[in-house]
C-alpha cells in the first residue's frame, strides 16, 4: 500500500490544480457576504492621515481593490472612471491600493485618471486579507450600515454593472 501513496497524493494535487483551472471564479460565494466589513485603519494614499471603516458608514460604497501591477485593473479602469463621472449614479467609489508602492500608484492615477473618492494604501495586504481578497482586482459593495452585500472577483464589466450591481444599489438606496 505504501508504494501507492505517492501516486495517490499526486492525484489529489493534480485534480485540485485541474479544478482550479476550470473553476468559474464569478461563482465562488464569499463567506463574508452579509457580514460586517472587517475593521481597518489605513493611511490615505500618499498622505499621512488615516481612514477607518467607520468613516465609510452612512453611504453605499463600492470598495475596489487594485494595484498598478495588475493588468485586470487597467481593464476596468475606464468603467470606474465613467461611473465616477456620471452624476446620476452618485456612488462613492473607494480604492484600496493593494501590495503596491505609493509613488507608483500616484503616477498611475495621474496618467489614467482617478475615479476614487478615497484611496487607502494597504502595502502589506493585511486589510485585503481580512476582506478575503486573493487577487486583484476585486470589488465589494457595502451598504450604509457597513455590511458587505456583494463581491465581484476580476475586472468589472459593463454587463456586471448593469445586471448585478446597479439593481442592488437601487435596492440598497431605498
Residue of the chain from 27, 48, 49, 71 that contacts other proteins (CB under 8 A): 71
Q: What is the DSSP letter of 30?
A: P
Q: At what angle do helices 102-112 and 71-85 cross, to 10 degrees?
A: 50
Question: Is residue 129 part of the contact set for other proteins (CB under 8 A)?
Answer: yes
Task: Give the interface segment with other proteins, choosing from 6-14, 81-89, 114-122, 143-151 (CB under 8 A).
Answer: 6-14
End-to-end CA distance of the chain: 63
Count residues near other proteins (CB under 8 A): 38
Task: Give the interface segment with other proteins, choosing from 88-96, 128-136, 141-149, 166-174 (CB under 8 A).
Answer: 128-136
CA distances from 17 to 11, 14, 22 (A): 10, 5, 9
How large is the C-alpha radius of gyration of the chain?
Answer: 18
Phi, psi of 100 (to 5 degrees): -135, 170
Q: Closest separation between CB of residue 173 and other proteins, Å?
A: 29
Cell of 79: 468603467
Q: Closest separation between CB of residue 36 and other proteins, Å?
A: 14
Question: Is residue 97 part of the contact set for other proteins (CB under 8 A)?
Answer: no
Cell of 98: 493593494
Q: Site residues (CB under 8 A) for other proteins?
A: 3-4, 6-7, 10-11, 14, 16-21, 23, 25, 28-29, 31, 68, 70-72, 103-104, 107, 111, 125-126, 129-130, 132, 134-137, 153-155
Amino acid at each position: 500500500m505504501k508504494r501507492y501513496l505517492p501516486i495517490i497524493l499526486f492525484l489529489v494535487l493534480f485534480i485540485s490544480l485541474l479544478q482550479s483551472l476550470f473553476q468559474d471564479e464569478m461563482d465562488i460565494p464569499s463567506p463574508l457576504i452579509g457580514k460586517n466589513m472587517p475593521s481597518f485603519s489605513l493611511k490615505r494614499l500618499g498622505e499621512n492621515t488615516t481612514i477607518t471603516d467607520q468613516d465609510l458608514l452612512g453611504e453605499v460604497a463600492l470598495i475596489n481593490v487594485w494595484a498598478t501591477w495588475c493588468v485586470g485593473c487597467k481593464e476596468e479602469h475606464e468603467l470606474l472612471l465613467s461611473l465616477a463621472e456620471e452624476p446620476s449614479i452618485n456612488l462613492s467609489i473607494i480604492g484600496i491600493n493593494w501590495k503596491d508602492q505609493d509613488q507608483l500608484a500616484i503616477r498611475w492615477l495621474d496618467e489614467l485618471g482617478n475615479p476614487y473618492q478615497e484611496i487607502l494604501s494597504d502595502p502589506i495586504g493585511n486589510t485585503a486579507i481580512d476582506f478575503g481578497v486573493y487577487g486583484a482586482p476585486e470589488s465589494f459593495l457595502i451598504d450604509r450600515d457597513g455590511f458587505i452585500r456583494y463581491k465581484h472577483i476580476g475586472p468589472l464589466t459593463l454587463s456586471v454593472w448593469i445586471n448585478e450591481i446597479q439593481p442592488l444599489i437601487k435596492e440598497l438606496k431605498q
